[in-house]
Amino acid sequence: MTEFLENFFLYTNKNPLKNKIVIGTPTKHIHYTVHLGGNSGYVDIHITDERLDESSGKYQTLFKMKKEDMFNIIESMSQHLPALIMTLLPQKISLSVLNRNGWYLQSLHKSAKESEGLVKLKKKGFKFDKNFKIRNLSNSYIMSNEIHENEDFIFLAYDKKNKFKGVLIKEAKLGTIFFIKKQKYYLFLKNCLNIIKEIINSKNIEEKDTILKFISKIGQDLDSEFF
């Protein structure tokens, strides 16, 4: 999921009937697209492989869902969000502790292109690419002692071995830094997915099995990224 967050970008067509969300991936030629329905009345998600042409399977639909079904799920999910957010239990962390840990940070608000290829996701953590040079560090990466000088407020934290440690949230007015541990971040995402599956199972919606299979795949990807 960290990789997902680092590579998220939004594209919105000026034509309201063609609005879509595009989600990049660590693989340059592959992205996901969420079409928001238009006149069809359906929201659909497909994966695109830019190396292929249409006859060779450039576009692969993962699932589609009626707009009204999507809105019902979102409405039901919103009732669970306060309790889910409480499970994150962010803790205050001091700048001196961050400095002592020697963590480096990456802002969630910087362009994915700035850091593309520098950090690779491995089964047990994040590793620098073999061709990485210190001069390649872009301004999306900062040392922990620079957090208050940085205009952004949400950061991913990595240790000296380039392993993901958790999420930092900066409260600018008070100068307070909150830390969400990797394990709690993972559990929050897993709990969200499990509740979404429960909601879908309780409703009469089209393509239910396909949607549940897709959500289960996201859960499996989370497991492999965090453990």
Question: What is the residue extent of each domain of the chain?
Answer: 85-184
What is residue 175's DSSP assignment?
Answer: T
Please name the amino acid found at residue 139.
Answer: N
Structure tokens, 18: 């063609």
**Residue 53, Cβ neighbours under 10 Å: how many?**
9
More confident residue, 136 or 89: 89
| pLDDT given for residue 23 in this prediction | 65
Distances (CA, A) of 70 to 84, 145, 189, 196: 20, 43, 19, 11
The whole-angstrom separation of Cα 29 and Cα 12 is 20
More confident residue, 208 or 221: 208
Distances (CA, A) of 18 to 42, 65, 106, 132, 159: 12, 16, 32, 39, 42
Contacts of residue 227, Cβ cutoff 8 Å, sequence gap at least 6: 124
Q: Between the CA atoms of 89, 198, 61 and 205, what dihedral angle is there, to the nearest 10 degrees?
A: -140
What one-character-per-residue DSSP string does 199-217 give? Answer: HHHTS--TTHHHHHHHHHH
For residue 199, what pLDDT band results from cuts at 50, 70 and 90? very high
pLDDT tens digits, residue range 64-102? 888 888 888 888 998 998 888 888 888 999 999 988 998
Residue 166 reports pLDDT greater than 50: yes
Lowest mean pLDDT among 71-80, 124-133, 175-184: 124-133
Residue 194 reports pLDDT greater than 70: yes
| pLDDT given for residue 202 in this prediction | 92
**Residue 93, Cβ neighbours under 10 Å: how many?**
19
The whole-angstrom separation of Cα 139 and Cα 21 is 26
Residue 21 reports pLDDT greater than 90: no
Per the CB < 8 A criterion, the answer to whether 98 and 183 are in contact is no
Residue 110 reports pLDDT greater than 80: no
| pLDDT given for residue 201 in this prediction | 92
Residue 120 reports pLDDT greater than 60: no
Per the CB < 8 A criterion, the answer to whether 101 and 75 are in contact is no
What is the overall mean pLDDT for the chain? 76
| pLDDT given for residue 33 in this prediction | 80
Question: What separation, in Å, do the N-terminal and C-terminal C-alpha atoms of the chain show?
Answer: 12
Contacts of residue 166, Cβ cutoff 8 Å, sequence gap at least 6: 157, 179, 180, 181, 182, 184, 185
Distance of alpha carbon 194 from its chain centroid, rounded? Answer: 17
**Residue 66, Cβ neighbours under 10 Å: how many?**
16
| Nearest Cα residue to 67 out of 45, 46, 36 | 36
| Nearest Cα residue to 162 out of 90, 100, 97, 106 | 106
